Amino acid sequence: MEIYLNVVEWGPGIYGAESACRYYDKTSARNIGRQQAAQLAAILPAPLKRRPERMNNYSARILERMCQMGW
């Protein structure tokens, strides 16, 4: 999973989780919260079509599932 997250394209010319966090949230991956993580997870199936700011409903479902799993 770590390898995938660090090589996948998160948007146009954005590769890796750290770069995605810096681009979308202006912070390091170490400093993102649950909401930001859920928004990033929401764009992964189609990062060139999905933008975090448009994924609020999907990221809310991700957050709900994270809570159910004890995260």
DSSP string, 16-38: SHHHHHHHHHSS-GGG--HHHHH
Q: Which domains does the chain have, with CATH numbers?
A: 2-68 (1.10.3810.10)
- Please list, in sequence order, all residues whose beta carbon lies within 8 angstroms of the beta carbon of residue 54, skipping any fewer than 6 positions away: none
Beta bridge partners of 14: 11
26-67: per-residue pLDDT in tens?
999 999 988 888 888 888 877 777 666 666 677 677 778 878
Q: DSSP class of residue 9?
A: E
pTM of the entire predicted model: 0.69
pLDDT higher than threshold 90 for residue 5: no
The residue ranking higher by pLDDT, 7 or 52, is 7
To the nearest 10 degrees (0 to 180), the angle between helices 17-25 and 34-43 is 110
What integer pLDDT is reported at residue 50 of this predicted model? Answer: 66
